[in-house]
Amino acid sequence: MEMTTKIGSMDENITIEKEGKDLRIAFDPKFLIDVLRVIDEEEVNLYLFNAKAPCFIRDDNSYIYLILPVNLIE
């Protein structure tokens, strides 16, 4: 996971289990952090379909969170 803002940056490796092709996608980090703060689990499921489609995040309590991607500048 990589993030760069006006006040700093971070580059963190996280362990994942993945199915399907590799995908490069970006989210507003505020929305991703907001979701992860309310999930009280060690593991979460992220469902990613393509770089333009929303990301679905699911926890063990049957909640589903939706985050829209932002365009990447390459």
Domains of the chain: 19-74 (3.10.150.10)
Strand order in the sheet with 45-47: 45-47, 55-58, 64-67
pTM for the full model?
0.70
pLDDT by residue (tens digit) across 9-62? 878 777 888 899 988 888 888 888 888 888 888 888 899 999 899 999 988 777
Residues ≥6 apart with Cβ < 8 Å to 47:
55, 56, 57, 58
Q: Are 27 and 69 in contact (CB under 8 A)?
A: yes
